[in-house]
């Protein structure tokens, strides 16, 4: 049996076992994806343990993505650009880190909105998830990305770090209080924060300032309809939930772990929605 894991703290909420399990059954592969709870202090030891146990690799979720990048013997270009890895593949020559978060968001947005050429985007947050989001938005052709964060200094740091790699995209850092000035011409809003997830309070934003045809995307998938998306739907705006990003980012992970490239299908989404509703 081929084995892989999803490591995080906490990780009990992760849909990765259900997601990979669906593909394993669909493709007739003898394998499993297991949850690996690990505190930041235990992260390196847990990676060593599962590698010794013969795991093919692990997906990495919060709060370990930057630690995974540092632990890897080498990292792909996307991981190097954002300084975070959400996929570790174990090989004879060491551990290789990859960032597939940007790919997941990029493909989810491409399905729903297509290219972002000449478009203005608002990105909420400046943490690890925001790094991959900036890369995805840049690759889709966004002209301007407003990076708005509670602490504007973090947004400024993120913009300064990524701007040299993105000469054709304007990165405009600011505070959440800059929303009113940025919203009027935004074609897309992406929430990369954990606001509205679990007991976290939602962001207080006036969505009425957005264009009537603007899209609102939340990378959170549990709950599937966050307070931000509920507000957007109530105002007649199109929305993109976090399930698309989750499914697409898992495609290269599954291929690395189990040796076959799966497809994102309506059947997969239905199975994951059912798993979410069953909790």
Backbone angles phi, psi at 215, to 5 degrees: -110, 145
Where residue 84 falls (left for φ over 0; alpha for ψ -120 to 50; beta otherwise) is beta
C-alpha to C-alpha distance for 35 and 13, rounded to whole angstroms: 9
Task: Give Cβ neighbours of residue 247 (< 8 Å, ≥ 6 apart).
Answer: 19, 104, 108, 264, 268, 269, 272
C-alpha to C-alpha distance for 244 and 266, rounded to whole angstroms: 10
DSSP one-letter code for 259: S
C-alpha to C-alpha distance for 230 and 225, rounded to whole angstroms: 6
Question: Percent helix, strand, coil in the chain (nearest 5)?
Answer: 45, 20, 35
- The burial class, CB within 10 Å (0-12 / 13-18 / 19+), for 260 is middle
C-alpha to C-alpha distance for 78 and 84, rounded to whole angstroms: 9
In the annotation, is 119 catalytic? Answer: no
Residue of 2, 65, 119, 230 with catalytic role: 65
Tell me, rounded to whole angstroms, the distance of Cα 36 from its chain centroid.
19
Pick from 190, 49, 87: which is nearest to 130 by CA? 190
Q: Are strands 144-149 and 120-124 parallel, antiparallel or unpaired?
A: parallel
CA angle 164, 168, 171 (to 5 degrees): 65
Catalytic positions = 65
């Amino acid at each position: 049996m081929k084995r892989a894991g999803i490591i995080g703290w906490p990780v009990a909420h992760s849909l990765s076992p259900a997601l990979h399990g669906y593909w394993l059954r669909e493709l007739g592969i003898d394998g499993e994806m297991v949850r690996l709870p690990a505190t930041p202090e235990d992260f390196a030891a847990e990676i060593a343990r599962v590698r010794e146990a013969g795991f093919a690799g692990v997906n990495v979720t919060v709060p370990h993505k930057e630690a995974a990048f540092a632990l890897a013997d080498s990292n792909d270009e996307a991981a190097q650009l954002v300084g975070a890895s959400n996929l570790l593949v174990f090989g004879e020559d060491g551990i290789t880190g990859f960032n597939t978060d940007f790919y997941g968001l990029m493909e989810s947005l491409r399905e729903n909105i297509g290219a972002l050429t000449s478009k203005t985007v608002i990105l909420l947050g400046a943490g690890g998830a925001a790094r991959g989001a900036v890369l995805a938005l840049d690759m889709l052709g966004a002209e301007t990305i407003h990076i708005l964060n509670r602490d504007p200094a973090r947004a400024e740091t993120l913009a300064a770090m990524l701007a040299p790699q993105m000469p054709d995209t304007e990165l405009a850092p600011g505070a959440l209080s800059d929303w009113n000035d940025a919203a009027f011409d935004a074609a897309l809003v992406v929430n990369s924060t954990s606001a509205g997830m679990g007991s976290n309070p939602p962001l207080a934003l006036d969505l009425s300032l957005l264009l009537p045809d603007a899209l609102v995307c939340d990378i959170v998938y549990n709950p599937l309809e966050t307070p931000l998306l509920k507000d957007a739907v109530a105002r007649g705006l199109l929305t993109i939930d976090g399930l698309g990003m989750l499914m697409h980012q898992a495609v290269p992970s599954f291929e690395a772990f189990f040796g076959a490239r799966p497809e994102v299908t309506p059947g997969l989404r239905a199975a994951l929605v059912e798993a979410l509703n069953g909790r």
